Amino acid sequence: TATQYLADWRPYPFAIAETRLDFTLAARTTRVRSAIDFRRIGPGDLVLDGAGLKTLSMTIDGRPVDPTLIRADQEKLIIPADQLPDSFTFEAEVQIDPEANTALEGLYLSGGMFCTQCEAEGFRHITWYPDRPDVMAPFRVEIHSDKPVLLSNGNPVNTAPGHASWHDPWPKPAYLFALVAGDLRAIPDSFTTASGRKVALNVWVRPGDEPRAGYAMESLIRSMKWEEEAYGREYDLDVFNIVAVDDFNMGAMENKGLNIFNSKLVLATAETATDGDYERIEGVIGHEYFHNWTGNRITCRDWFQLCLKEGLTVFRDQQFTSDMRSAAVKRIHDVQTLRARQFREDAGPLSHPPRPDHYQEINNFYTATVYEKGAEVIGMLKRLVGDEGYRKALDLYFDRHDGQACTIEDWIAVFQDATGRDLVQFKRWYTDAGTPRLSLTEEWANGKLVLNFRQHTAPTPGQAEKPARVIPIALGLIGPNGDEVLPTTVLEMTEERQSFAFEGLGARPVVSLLRGFSAPVTVAREMTADEQALLLAHDTDPCARWQAGHDLALDALIDRTRGKAVGEALIRALGGLLDDAEADPAFAALCLSLPGEEEIATTIAASGAVPDPDAIHAARRGLVQDIAEAHEVALTRLFDAMAPQGPYRPDADGSARRSLRLACLGYLGRLDDGNRADTLFADAGNMTERQGALEQLIALDRDADALARFAAEFRDNRLVMDKWFMVQPLRAAPEKAVARARALAARPDFDWKNPNRFRALISGLTANHAGFHAADGSGYDFLADWLMKLDPVNPQTTARMCSAFETISRYDTGRQDKARAALRRIAAMPGLSRNTSEMVTRILA
């Protein structure tokens, strides 16, 4: 399979004045007529992309195009330059089959509704077109269909039964094209922009789902307002439509004026959605809306630049959520996600820079590195240039590049030009893969503390050399009595080794390092349990404070895997935390949630040892038991104190109380044999507590009644049943997890072609660390069997899920051999997709 290289990018030789599309929709035989007005702007042939199209006719200015110019093997139509006038209209009529489109890329059917997904390269499945992000055009779209609601990008021009026409005046690349046709109901509202323009808003759902879409609409309005206030950017069309779709490969898609969402990120009621679901809905609605400026008005020159739009938009959605909710909790959650997903990716065979320089299948690069690390890099930039510098740079970015398709170089240039700062070294964060390891040793004498830092990044695939990066190190100093003796100070590390001194200190302080998680690095430093406990009790920075408690727990857990039944310092420290928990329930809940098994394994592997999944599971269980026994009284008091105080509200305060309550339940269940969980499951008036209780009952192997009740109650709600499929393999005892997943997969309602249902069950198992990594290899075989079944149907979703194998090389040779055998089985499958083939090859390399 051909590898695409950043170095090979060449400008497209034509500009498009307008693209006109005319759809006559039919499940098996949709006709697409297109007319594209091209104008030459550089030398070269006319290259159009097309995949799986039945081409009925093609003309240039009315003259037929020779159909033998189609190179079906390359999915291209190449018309030589000497056959083309300087300006011309290319017209085509093609036939496509949406019903057969199970890959969910291009135009497809979901529950009888026509919908599209064109990012990254889906438009070529709709018609012949320059399907690359740097070719932008205004679009006019006609839709003929007997479906009652017919939507596309931009503003409506005409709607009559059986027909609609839309005009999108903002030039856009094909990946932002969208069309929806179905029997839909709207939740309507409106928003008046700061400059006084009234925008009609609609969230479109299936009939009957209207009562579940209110929170999505509220989130949209909050997003529009926030972006005006925080970035001074207004919406730019007369309408903004969101459509909820049941069959969707990812979370949502930012098509211009017509966002399409996975229904799980739209539909919510207290009875069906958890606090986490609500927060995600708000965050993703914001994310897609914010793309209107960072992605749509300013897009990417090529797909290597994906983090230009995704990193920036994640950064902005993180800012939005922290403004809407608790900034401290949001930051800690983001750090947890980054560590769990991106650090893991960076430490294995799939490691790549935020801006990769080659790929085979771009869909495999919608990764934690591009998204989450891309956002962290912007957070560092902001820290280095300050809030004012950031604002100036962003204003310049919008002014200078509106309507353009840009690169990371353009992005860095606006920061240099707006702030005068040299960012040549900083750019390495975009081009170099791997997570730097920051080591700290300390020297203390006569009131002077010297901090000796060293940065080191291990080689990653294709990148052996790792020059030093700029690392903003935010730190503070906490005196032995808990007072802060140095408030947050940002050191800029630019060398491989660098020392910083602090003088005039009375007593030796404890360093509160990497405050606010100021750089995406791992930290290596010696700390005593007492020092960690001091920071947990007194640090003024919530992130560093949480980190101290987390490290204390991690050390205790790792010691336990080595047979040492320790953890007294942690247990003592948690006692203090529990006493004050009511003052900040969210923080207490975060500290009570011990590091997960996967993270323990990662930490053990990073120290050069081989993690044993069963020992890790036992260690964690043992520590939970000991904490529960030591703090039964306080945990019980808090569990009762955090009972609901009025109607459910999915806000920060309410979810903080529920998270603390469930954290307490996780411990108390080990003492009461699940009685509280049983009662809570029966009585809870919201899904957060119900699901929490159910997970606890599964972990305690006391779940039969609850699962039956849950299924009976929610049989007809696909999204809630996805939870039912997910929690069973996830929370089952490791030795039962694979069997449980097998039994669930055999059920008639395991609708595996639906990505949500497939992911629920399969990711439920792969997230059960000791269950998936069962020593007999049954977890690996189960996953491989299902990936092989899904690949011919939906390569995108299959390939993404291969990443469950990315950590195999850290385990013992027995497990490694079994995992590699499973991967080789996938690799040998005849007709394996390019998506999955690339992933398996990289993991096996």
**Residues classed as catalytic:** 288
Minimum CB separation of residue 315 from ligand HT7 in Å reads: 13
718 binds ligand HT7 (CB under 6 A): no
Q: Does 250 bind ligand HT7 (CB under 6 A)?
A: yes
Q: Is residue 754 near ligand HT7 by the rule CB under 6 A?
A: no
Per-residue contact track with ligand HT7, 191 to 230, x per CB under 6 A?
----------------------------------------
250 vs 529 by CB, closer to ligand HT7: 250
Segment interacting with ligand HT7 (CB under 6 A) among 25-33, 187-195, 245-253, 779-787? 245-253
Minimum distance, C-beta of residue 290 to ligand HT7, in the bound complex (Å): 9
- CB under 8 Å, gap of 24 or more: what pairs does 634-642 form? 634/575, 634/578, 634/579, 634/581, 635/578, 635/664, 635/667, 635/668, 636/664, 636/668, 638/578, 638/581, 638/582, 638/588, 638/664, 639/664, 639/665, 639/668, 639/676, 641/582, 642/585
Determine the interface stretch with Zn ion among 120-128, 209-217, 305-313, 820-828 (rule: CB under 5 A): 305-313
The count of chain residues that interact with Zn ion, using the rule CB under 5 A, is 2
Go through 808-821 and write b for each residue having 16 or more CB atoms within 10 A of its CB, e for each that does not.
bebbeeebeebbbe
C-alpha angle 382/388/392, rounded to 5°? 90
- Reduced to 3 states (helix: H, G, I; strand: E, B; else coil), residue 101 is coil
Range in contact with ligand HT7 (rule: CB under 6 A) among 22-30, 112-120, 435-443, 611-619? 112-120
Distance separating alpha carbons of residues 756 and 373, to the nearest angstrom? 25
In the complex, the smallest distance separating the C-beta of residue 301 from ligand HT7, rounded to whole angstroms, is 16
Among the listed residues 91, 131, 246, 254, the single contact to ligand HT7 using CB under 6 A: 254
Which residues are bridge partners to 192 per DSSP? 198
Contact 604, 561 (CB under 8 A): yes
**Interacting residue with ligand HT7 among 110, 117, 223, 766 (CB under 6 A):** 117
Q: Report the DSSP pairing between strands 448-456 and 497-502.
A: antiparallel
Which residue type sits at 601? Answer: A
Three-state secondary structure of 795-808 = HHHHHHHHHHHCCH
* Nearer Cβ to ligand HT7 (292/768): 292
Minimum distance from residue 182 beta carbon to ligand HT7 (Å)? 18
Identity at 43, one-letter amino acid code = P
CA 223 – CA 287 distance, rounded (Å): 9
Q: How far is the CB of 636 from ligand HT7 (least distance, A)?
A: 43
124 contributes a contact to ligand HT7 by CB under 6 A: no
Write the secondary structure of 664-720 as one string of H (helix), E (strand) and C (coil).
HHHHHHHHHCCHHHHHHHHHCCCHHHHHHHHHHHHHCCCCHHHHHHHHHHHCCCHHH
User: At residue 488, what is the residue type?
Assistant: T
Q: Pick one of Zn ion, ligand HT7, none as the site partner of residue 800 (Cβ within 5 to 8 A by kind).
A: none
DSSP annotation of 47 = E
Closer to ligand HT7 by CB, 366 or 429: give it.
366
Is 77 buried (19+), middle (13-18) or exposed (0-12) by CB count in 10 A?
A: buried
Number of residues that bind ligand HT7 (CB under 6 A): 13
**Distance, CA of 6 to CA of 304 (rounded, Å):** 6
**Which of ligand HT7, Zn ion, none lies near 473, with the C-beta cut-off 5 to 8 A by kind?**
none
- Beta carbon of residue 241, minimum distance to Zn ion (angstroms, whole number): 18
Nearer to Zn ion, 149 or 308 (CB): 308
561 interacts with, out of Zn ion, ligand HT7, none, CB within 5 to 8 A per kind: none
How near is the Cβ of 409 to ligand HT7 at its closest, in Å? Answer: 21
* Min separation Cβ 309 and ligand HT7, Å: 7
Question: Which residues make beta-bridge pairs with 95?
Answer: 31, 54
Pick the closer one to Zn ion by CB: 275 or 310. 310
- To the nearest 10 degrees (0 to 180), the angle between helices 704-714 and 687-699 is 150
CA 578 – CA 615 distance, rounded (Å): 28
Q: Binder to ligand HT7 among 49, 91, 119, 597 (CB under 6 A)?
A: 119
Query: How far is residue 163's CA from residue 477's CA, in Å, rounded to a whole number?
Result: 67
Binding mask 259-288 for ligand HT7 (x = CB under 6 A): ----------------------------xx
Contact call for residue 249 and ligand HT7 (CB under 6 A):
yes
Phi-psi category of residue 52: left, alpha or beta, with phi > 0 → left and psi -120 to 50 → alpha: left
Cβ(283)–Cβ(321) below 8 Å: yes
Q: Which stretch binds ligand HT7 (CB under 6 A): 116-124, 297-305, 561-569, 729-737?
A: 116-124
Taking residue 299's Cβ as centre, other Cβ atoms within 10 Å add up to 24
State which residue, 310 or 689, has the beta carbon closest to ligand HT7. Answer: 310
Residue nearest to ligand HT7 (CB): 250
Cα(360)–Cα(100) distance, integer angstroms: 25
Residues 434-493 that bind ligand HT7 (CB under 6 A): none
**Nearer Cβ to ligand HT7 (168/288):** 288
Size of the chain, expressed as the number of residues it contains? 845
| Binding track over 284-323 against ligand HT7, x by CB under 6 A | ---xx--x------------------x-------------
The span of 308-316, 506-514, 538-546, 727-735 binding Zn ion (CB under 5 A) equals: 308-316
Residue from the set 366, 429, 639, 724 that interacts with ligand HT7 by CB under 6 A:
366
Binding region for Zn ion (CB under 5 A) = 310, 313
Binding region for ligand HT7 (CB under 6 A) = 117, 119-120, 249-250, 252-254, 287-288, 291, 310, 366
